[in-house]
Amino acid sequence: MKLESLRSLLLEQLQDLYSAEQQITKALPKMIERTSDGGLKSALSEHLDITREQVRRLDHIFDEIRDGDRDGSKCKGMEGLLKEGEEIIKAKGDPETRDAGIIASAQRVEHYEIAGYGCARTYASLLGRRDWAQQLQQTLDEEKEADQKLNQLAERINVEAKAA
């Protein structure tokens, strides 16, 4: 990797996010399948649709980048988070406790995305690409919304999880 300018750092961050989103698109259906709570299931399903739109938004930005493109590199951070999430969804035992664990995994994913999009948005803005900054901000807002929704669900589901 060579980082010569803020522009190359932005490109590197966008590639990381692109890979992260694609991995999330594959992982979410498995999480949804193993969720026993209806409210959590529909929140995750809704976020899957939003995630697919976020991939399209990144595609749109990549289409406008002349000297760089999706390089196919894998986001190892997201790979690790999703591997940990996989262990939770495979866990046997109390379904409500597993649901609480699924929320914990999903919130880690959202927080990773919030950090990534926040940086990318700021770089785009500093580079004078207000159009990209706006699109990245929109995704950032969606990730924050998803995180808040998970917080709300956790207030109920954590209590339903077996206390002992």
Residues that bind Fe ion (CB under 5 A): 51, 54, 113, 143
Q: Of 6, 157, 30, which is closest to residue 96 (Cα–Cα)?
A: 157
CB of 47 to Fe ion, least distance (A): 6
Q: State the amino acid at position 36 in one-letter form.
A: S
CB closer to Fe ion, 35 vs 54 = 54
Minimum CB distance to Fe ion smaller for 73 or for 162: 73
* In the block, residue with structure tokens 């207000």: 130
Q: How far is the CB of 160 from Fe ion (least distance, A)?
A: 24
**Helix intervals (H) in 35-129:** 38-64, 76-90, 95-126
CA distance 151 to 153: 5
Which CB atom, from 89 or from 161, has the smaller least distance to Fe ion?
A: 89
The residue among 12 and 113 lying less far from Fe ion, judged by its C-beta, is 113
Smallest distance, Fe ion to C-beta of residue 122, A: 17
Nearest distance from residue 92's CB to Fe ion, in Å?
27
Helix (H, G, I), strand (E, B) or coil at 14: helix
Closest by alpha carbon to 57, among 123, 115, 141?
Answer: 141
